[in-house]
């Protein structure tokens, strides 16, 4: 019976129901007295450290993504490629064309972006025509036959003069041959056929794009490269 009583006393001590027992010696049991707030917080942090570390990493990644998407400079001119060009060619254009691009959006930066559809027959076709119909790109680039095909497709769909007439600023009809422009000759991208055309929207975006193309033709730099 004495052993059973000791067990009951020990259980009460471990549960904190009593602070002291006459039958169980103080050094005869392994029990912690109730902790203060600081100790409880320390133990909680210790036992949940893995969850906390993972949570901090998730927040850090989310912060990086937020900065990338919400604080990324908005382009003054968006260019969409109908033909496939290497990332090197696109970066070359993005790093050199801003010298001809005014700060149209007023954010103090001169940004020209060049994007293109995925190199996939199905996904590329879908994205390409989504950009043509509803995209924000005001300038299209590509091989001459690709731009001509796009113009013909839009005409057959009922959209006449999809591209703006650039003949008044020195281009050939609605297309500018990039290699014939001063910047084209400077960059020497002769191995790749690049033509440029402006989407006909009859608004400020079209005016900005035409001004940008005209600056290229006249080699009128608005920003030092």
Query: Within 10 Å of residue 110's Cβ, how many Cβ atoms?
Result: 21
Give me 188's structure tokens.
Answer: 């020497």
Q: Can you tell me the distance from the alpha carbon of 155 to that of 115, in angstroms, rounded to the nearest whole number?
A: 24
* 176-194 per-residue burial string, b: 16 or more CB within 10 A, e: under 16: bebbebebbeebebeeebb
Give the list of residues 6+ apart from residue 33 with CB closer than 8 angstroms, or none: 16, 19
Beta bridge partners of 196: 141, 176
Percent of the chain at pLDDT > 70 equals 69
Question: What value, to the nearest 5°, has the Cα angle with vertex 211 and ends 206 and 217?
Answer: 125
The rounded mean pLDDT for the chain is 80
Decide the pairing of beta strands 139-142 and 195-198. Answer: antiparallel
Give the list of residues 6+ apart from residue 91 with CB closer than 8 angstroms, or none: none
Q: What is the length of the chain? A: 225
pLDDT tens digits, one per residue of 129-173: 788 878 889 999 999 999 999 888 888 877 778 899 999 998 889
Q: DSSP per residue over 74-103, as a string?
A: PPSEEEEESS---HHHHHHHHHHGGGG---
**Chain position carrying tokens 């299209």:** 140
Q: In Å, how far from its chain's centre is CA 7?
A: 65
Cβ atoms 114, 209 nearer than 8 A: no
Percent of the chain at pLDDT > 90 equals 39
Cβ atoms 107, 81 nearer than 8 A: no
Q: Where are the domains of the chain?
A: 1-34, 35-72, 74-218
Could you give the maximum distance between any two Cα atoms of the chain, in Å? Answer: 110
Kindly tell me the sign of the dihedral angle through the C-alpha atoms of 204, 211, 73, 141: positive
What's the CA dihedral at 120, 125, 130, 132 to 10 degrees? 120
Cβ atoms 223, 98 nearer than 8 A: yes
CATH top class, domain 74-218:
alpha beta
pLDDT tens digits, one per residue of 91-107: 999 999 999 999 999 88
* 45-54 per-residue burial string, b: 16 or more CB within 10 A, e: under 16: eeeeeeeeee
What is the pLDDT averaged over residues 75-79?
Answer: 92
Rg (C-alpha) for the chain, rounded Å, is 34
pLDDT band with cut points at 50, 70 and 90 for residue 28? very low
């Amino acid at each position: 019976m004495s052993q059973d009583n000791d067990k009951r006393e020990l259980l009460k001590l471990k549960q904190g129901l009593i602070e002291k027992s006459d039958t169980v010696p103080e050094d005869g049991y392994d029990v912690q007295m109730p902790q203060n707030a600081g100790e409880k917080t320390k133990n909680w942090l210790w036992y949940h450290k893995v969850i906390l570390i993972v949570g901090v990493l998730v927040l850090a990644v989310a912060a990086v993504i937020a900065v990338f998407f919400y604080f990324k400079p908005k382009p003054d001119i968006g260019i969409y490629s109908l033909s496939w060009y290497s990332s090197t060619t696109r970066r070359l254009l993005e790093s050199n064309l801003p010298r001809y691009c005014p700060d149209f959006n007023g954010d103090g930066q001169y940004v020209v972006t060049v994007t293109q559809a995925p190199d996939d027959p199905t996904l590329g076709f879908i994205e390409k025509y989504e950009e043509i119909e509803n995209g924000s790109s005001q300038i299209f680039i590509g091989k001459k036959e690709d731009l001509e095909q796009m113009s013909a497709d839009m005409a057959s769909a009922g959209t006449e003069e999809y591209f703006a007439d650039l003949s008044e600023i020195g281009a050939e009809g609605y297309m500018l041959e990039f290699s014939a422009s001063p910047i084209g000759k400077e960059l020497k991208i002769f191995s790749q056929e690049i033509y440029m055309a402006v989407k006909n929207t009859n608004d400020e975006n079209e005016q900005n794009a035409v001004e940008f193309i005209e600056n290229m033709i006249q080699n009128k730099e608005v920003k030092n490269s």
